[in-house]
Amino acid sequence: MAEGSDIPRRLLIAVGGNAIQPAGMRGTAEEQVKIAASTARALLPILELDNELVITHGNGPAVGKVLMRQALAQPQVVPMSLDICVADTQGATAYILGQAFENALREAGNPRHVVGLVTQVEVDPDDPAFHRPSKPVGYFFSKEQADGLQKGMGWTMREDAGRGWRLVVPSPEPKHVCDVSLVEALMSRGTVVIAGGGGGVPVVRNARGVRHGVEAVIDKDLTSALMAKILNVDVMMILTAVSKVAINFGAPGQRDLDRVTLIEARRYASEGHFAEGSMGPKVSAAIRFMANGGRHAIIAHLNEAMAALRGEAGTHFLADDPTACASH
């Protein structure tokens, strides 16, 4: 994509869970509707484009709150399995976002439709992640609080990028996005499709094709990269709460990245510049997208989405051969 010129025909936008459910919010319905409306205003210039658009979203904060509610409600209320918690929050978030997007479009006089799909994503039942919980979800706690939860609830708690301690759960690799043909059919008709929320509902399938859910949370950025590959997306955008990817983050030599090639991104990742609980999965998803033939990946602040799409903001991941993106 020639930066600042052509707009991609087929686009996938991944909105981070912490961008649509920022730290400090209580999680009331009113708060969620208000933040969704703000998200819709930020994305409206892109929603109004003549494009084929799919939007994924994180739900780590929401899943964590559901788990906390279940912990507090025991033994009066039987807790749900983690896959159902993901489906629950995926559907609720898609409803709130979809309604906000359509409201913003109607206020702008645009008749475009938005639909949310509860999406199952297959994983390998033998994925080693099931034995090594690593995906942070939910609230941040102090070390003392984390120790108490680990002892009292049996939760696995881990320090998350210097921001506090969080519950971590298994995070297997996404292998197949179920019914992705429905996503493509809808987006090809001009409908904005919200799918793959929270990385998708984690399921496994036996030899007869029978599926069942598993106790896990799939990283939404990795599912987004897989979906973008399957859908032959031109550009994948990952929108979060920071403006750019940085190396040496938090150190005297911190430097924001404007443009980075696949080779450079891989080198920075191997050098440990991107924290696993923070920017790591986003950069990994961008690398995967580019390595699988993607033309252009962007990581940017939610409020700078359109500027980033025009090449005026964010961190842009480009092909190692600059001429490969010359016509895009």
Selected catalytic residue, list 60, 65, 282, 314: 282
Highest mean pLDDT among 78-92, 153-167, 310-324 belongs to: 78-92
Instruction: Indicate which residue of 16, 17, 198, 199 is catalytic.
Output: 17
Q: Is the pLDDT assigned to residue 38 strictly greater than 80?
A: yes
Banded model confidence at residue 1, pLDDT cuts 50, 70, 90: very low
Residues 6 or more apart whose CB falls under 8 angstroms from that of 222 comprise: 173, 174, 199, 281, 284, 285, 288
- List, as one string, the DSSP characters of 24-76: T----HHHHHHHHHHHHHHHHHHHTSSSEEEEEE--HHHHHHHHHHHHHHTTT
Does the pLDDT at position 161 exceed 80? no
Domains and CATH numbers, the chain: 10-118+174-325 (3.40.1160.10)
Mean pLDDT of the region 245-261: 92
State yes or no: is 65 an active-site residue: no
From first CA to last CA, the distance across the chain in angstroms is 2
Q: Is the pTM of this model over 0.85?
A: yes
Are 45 and 312 a contacting pair, CB within 8 Å? no
DSSP class per residue in 82-144 = HHHHHHHHHHHHHHHHHHHHHHHHHHTT----EEE---EEE--TT-GGGGS--EEEEEEE-HH
Residue whose C-alpha is closest to residue 11's, from 22, 1, 3, 26:
1
Euclidean distance between CA atoms 183 and 202, whole angstroms? 18
Catalytic-residue membership of 143? no
Confirm whether 282 is a catalytic residue.
Answer: yes
Does 151 qualify as catalytic in the annotation?
no
Q: Of these residues, 135, 198, 277, 314, which one is catalytic? A: 135
| pLDDT tens, position by position, 215-252 | 999 999 999 999 999 999 999 999 998 999 999 988 88
Quick: pLDDT tens for 71-117.
778 778 888 899 999 999 999 999 999 999 999 999 999 999 999 99
- Of residues 196, 199, 220, 277, which has the active-site annotation? 220
Per-residue pLDDT at 210: 95
